[in-house]
Amino acid sequence: MASSADLWYIRLPDGRLLRARSTVALRHYLKSGRIPWDGRVRRSADDPWQTLDRVEEFVDLVPKGSALGDSSLGEMPGNDAGPRPKKSGAELRTLGMRGLVEELFNAFDSCLQRTKLTTAACTGLGIGLVWMLGDVAAQLLGDRAWIGHAGAAVLVLLLFSTCISILTQMTAIELSRFRQVRFSEIRPGLAGSIVRLSVALGLVGGAILGFIVLLRSLPAWLAPGGPAEVGLGLEVVLDIVNGARLILEVLCWPIFGVAMLLLGPILIVEEYSIGRALREWLGMLRQHLGRIYLYQALAFAFAAVLSVPLVLPVLLARYGFIGNTPHPSLGASAPFYLLAGVALTPALAYLLVAHVFIYLNLRYEFFYSTRER
């Protein structure tokens, strides 16, 4: 999919940066006058800005007598040949923070499609069913309850990977072809994507969760005899360990969220192997950690707005009906698990679709700079 990218970056005379997804799209905007001829273009952040009369793809469209001089980037002459450029939600996008917020809003339209919502609903229902079965298995196994929880975790991982693979492929094809995608178009290679993504998510997510469990178990290992047998020196050590554990765990949970949601677009859109996807993911964390945190915070805020009207009635019914019962019956808990899974459908669909937009923004776009690169 990545090989089909035909991106152009346009710098308008007022300093704004826009992105056209293909040469055909940019030619259309030039011919219709929505892009002025005194703008400048380039393929990537490593290329120099060029006037349109020096670019082979557009030189045949330059109107005769157009004022395309050799002016500097900061002092480009005006042009009355066409109207002021307008933004297009499908092919032309503003870059930077404003562009990201616009794309997160565009993700609403993309995720609210029947096929994507159906996929997310089936996934949510499946996760709710697995939660219910895992709870029942844990009660039956007693001291070996961890077996039931581990089995439930594996099934949830497979369901989650399937949903990510379907929604990511559909969104990526939709953005590159400017039309809705049929499910039959993503069937080839879907099984391979699910397997690779499950392995990648299992490796990263398992490592992070294992580290968190290790941090929580460390105080008990250092003081196995209980608080009554802890001396002053060991108490100081435990205070330091607990403080460090809290800080490290606070850092681990956001990284866990990044892994669960950003690894899918990296692996599927670029069609990378597991090793290459993990390297790209680590490199993206090093380079864009602050932007990723900000983008995900906005995406989760939007997802919360979508999910509250559905989740709140389920929670109110759950705790209003069951109260503070420590171990509710299966007849009371089973509907809760299923309804909770279905209630998360809009949030799940939006987050997975939005992270395709986030990944493409991080991978192919850059901030405006007043200096020539």
pLDDT digits over 246-284, tens only? 999 998 888 888 888 999 999 998 888 899 999 999 988
Give pLDDT, residue 352. 94
Among 62-66, 273-277, 342-346, which stretch is predicted with the lowest mean pLDDT? Answer: 62-66
pLDDT of 165 higher than 90: yes
Residues 239 and 359 in one domain: yes
- The verdict on residue 222 lying in a domain is yes
- The verdict on residue 181 lying in a domain is yes
H-helix segments, the chain: 23-32, 96-111, 114-141, 145-177, 190-222, 232-269, 274-321, 330-343, 345-364
Q: Domain total for the chain?
A: 2
Share above pLDDT 70 across residues of the chain, in percent, rounded to a whole number = 78
Residues 343 and 323 in one domain: yes
CB within 8 Å of 180: residues ≥ 6 apart:
113, 174
Among 41-45, 77-81, 180-184, 300-304, which stretch is predicted with the lowest mean pLDDT? Answer: 77-81
Give pLDDT, residue 76. 37
Give pLDDT, residue 121. 93
Mean pLDDT of the chain: 78
**254 burial level (CB within 10 Å; 0-12, 13-18, 19+):** middle
Among 21-30, 263-272, 360-369, which stretch is predicted with the lowest mean pLDDT? Answer: 360-369
Report the alpha-carbon distance of residue 253 to residue 259 in Å, rounded: 10
* Residue ranges making up the domain that contains 136: 100-364
Give pLDDT, residue 99. 64
Give pLDDT, residue 178. 63
Of 62, 94, 126, the position where a domain reaches its end is 94
| Mean pLDDT value across residues 302-314 | 90
Residues 69 and 129 in one domain: no
Report the alpha-carbon distance of residue 106 to residue 285 in Å, rounded: 24
Residues 293 and 171 in one domain: yes
Give pLDDT, residue 4. 44
- The verdict on residue 344 lying in a domain is yes
- The verdict on residue 372 lying in a domain is no
Give pLDDT, residue 196. 93
**Where is 93: in which H helix or E strand?**
strand 92-94
Q: Are 76 and 13 in contact (CB under 8 A)?
A: yes
Phi then psi for 330, rounded to 5 degrees? -65, -35
SS3 state at 222: helix
Torsion of CA 289, 200, 345, 359, to 10 degrees: 40
Q: Are 146 and 140 in contact (CB under 8 A)?
A: no
- The verdict on residue 370 lying in a domain is no
Residues 66 and 109 in one domain: no
Residues 212 and 352 in one domain: yes
More confident residue, 70 or 153: 153
Give the pLDDT band (50/70/90) at residue 105.
Answer: confident
Report the alpha-carbon distance of residue 166 to residue 172 in Å, rounded: 10
Give pLDDT, residue 75. 38
CB within 8 Å of 169: residues ≥ 6 apart:
1, 181, 186, 190, 193, 268
Of 94, 117, 141, the position where a domain reaches its end is 94
- The verdict on residue 291 lying in a domain is yes
pLDDT of 230 higher than 50: yes
More confident residue, 118 or 180: 118
Residues 135 and 272 in one domain: yes
Residues 19 and 34 in one domain: yes
- The verdict on residue 261 lying in a domain is yes
- The verdict on residue 369 lying in a domain is no
Give the pLDDT band (50/70/90) at residue 369.
Answer: very low
Residues 69 and 146 in one domain: no
Residues 86 and 127 in one domain: no
Give pLDDT, residue 137. 80
Q: Are 324 and 372 in contact (CB under 8 A)?
A: no
Residues 293 and 173 in one domain: yes
pTM of the complete model:
0.69
Of 94, 125, 156, the position where a domain reaches its end is 94
Residues 136 and 261 in one domain: yes
Winning range, highest mean pLDDT, from 66-75, 121-130, 332-341: 121-130
| Mean pLDDT value across residues 296-320 | 87
Give pLDDT, residue 204. 92
Q: Are 78 and 38 in contact (CB under 8 A)?
A: yes
| Mean pLDDT value across residues 30-36 | 76
Please report where in the chains the tokens 């809760």 appear, as a residue. 336
146: closest CA among 207, 205, 208, 213?
A: 213
Q: Are 53 and 30 in contact (CB under 8 A)?
A: no
Give pLDDT, residue 73. 35
